[in-house]
A = this chain, B = another copy of it.
Amino acid sequence: MPLRIGKNTLKLTTNPSVTGFAGVGGITEGEGPLAEEFDYIFEDDKAGQESFEKAESIFHKEAVERAITKAGKSKGEINLIFAGDLLNQCTGSTFGIRNMDIPYVGVYGACSTMALALALASLSVDSGAAQNAVASTSSHFCSAERQFRLPLEYGGQRTPTAQHTATAAGACVISTHTENTPCVSAVLIGKIKDLGIKDANNMGAAMAPAAAGTVAMFLEDTKTTPEDYDLILTGDLGKVGSTLLKELMLKDYGTDISSVHNDCGLLIYDMEKQDVHSGGSGCGCSASVLNTHVLKAISSGKLNRVLFVATGALLSATSTLQGETIPSIAHAVLLTGGERE
């Protein structure tokens, strides 16, 4: 049963386990430094489909099916799936999982979706509502570009602060505590922050205050310091947002996280060789990095305590056209090595 500690942190008293996890990517992700760690790289970003949106659903489905298989479960053993994505009305998820016959909770957190879905799946297992729950999300560069920015055919130039939406999906299975698996020990559901940023090509800046608020709140609630973590992993602030986060943490909260901080948007691509501007973004970026590289490192003992903080910019193309600012959010999940910790 979850136990509220401090103001907003929920400690999971049964230590739910991550029994299976998988990440899949597209062509650009397959050229990045984590390619070898991905479960599958699609050689065709359209995955044989007629549209980018349909392709995203195939990516999503692939990640979920691989995670369930790797957990040694059947779909019939999954009590709940928490899924969502960036596409209008979350069709990346719903069309991807529609034939799985699993009770479905649609979630929306923009690029924070992996942390949100993972937090809710873990809470559901910790409370006994589910024995096995899936958390999953996806994004696709081409479906996101034409939905949020410009049609690809237009060939619009991107600003240096812009991030590159990952063509990727990630999923994991959370189960009642199982020995020798990574565990979810605590979660924090974030609050919306809106500091008045309006530039939809600089979402790292819009999201950094939300990330800082969530990290600071988690540290305060759990009476811990950055040194208590092997990694504080944001997803996805990119280059601009990551620098801002570290500055904000120091300035507003007097906390230096620079020695343990990294960002999924900086890990997924080669920031020098790949043309991805400020780094990766999109729900699938942090989802695929978490469910490949990071959970593998926790499983193998390279990492023991990882605070995963995914951030989301809660804008729409319409809100931007209507001159609105960008409300942002960040949710945190504490992953640990389980017994080994």
Contacts and interface: CB of A to CB of B under 8 A. Distances in A.
Given A4-B79, A79-B4, A192 B318 contact: no
Interface residues of A, number: 60
B107 A107 contact: yes
Interface stretch (A94-102, A229-237, A258-266): A94-102
A150 interface: no
A333 to B, nearest CB: 13
Given A79-B4, A107-B105, A190-B103, A88 B317 contact: yes
A120 interface: yes
A104 B319 contact: no
B91 A319 contact: yes
Nearest to A103: B189
A103 to B, nearest CB: 4
Interface in A234-260: none
Interface in A26-74: 50-51, 53-54
B128 A94 contact: no
Copy count, this protein chain = 2
A318 B322 CA distance: 21
A169 interface: no
Contacts of A194: 98-99
Contact of A88 (B1, B4, B79, B89): B89
Contacts of A105: 107, 116, 120, 189
Contacts of A106: 84, 107-109, 116, 314, 329
B319 A128 contact: no
Residue among A53, A94, A101 with the highest chain B CB neighbour number at 10 A: A94
A125 B224 CA distance: 27
Contact of A89 (B1, B107, B128, B315): B315
A191 interface: yes
Nearest to A119: B105
Contact of A322 (B54, B94, B109): B54
For the complex of A and B, list the 10 residue pairs with the smallest distance between their C-beta atoms, beginning with the closest.
Answer: A127-B127, A106-B108, A89-B316, A103-B189, A94-B314, A2-B129, A88-B316, A98-B327, A88-B88, A98-B192
18 contacts: A2-B128, A2-B129, A4-B128, A51-B322, A54-B322, A84-B108, A88-B88, A88-B316, A89-B108, A89-B110, A91-B315, A95-B327, A98-B314, A100-B192, A102-B191, A106-B116, A107-B107, A120-B120
Interface of A: 1-4, 8, 10, 50-51, 53-54, 79-80, 84, 86-91, 94-95, 97-110, 116, 120, 123-124, 126-129, 147, 188-192, 194, 314-319, 322, 324, 327, 329
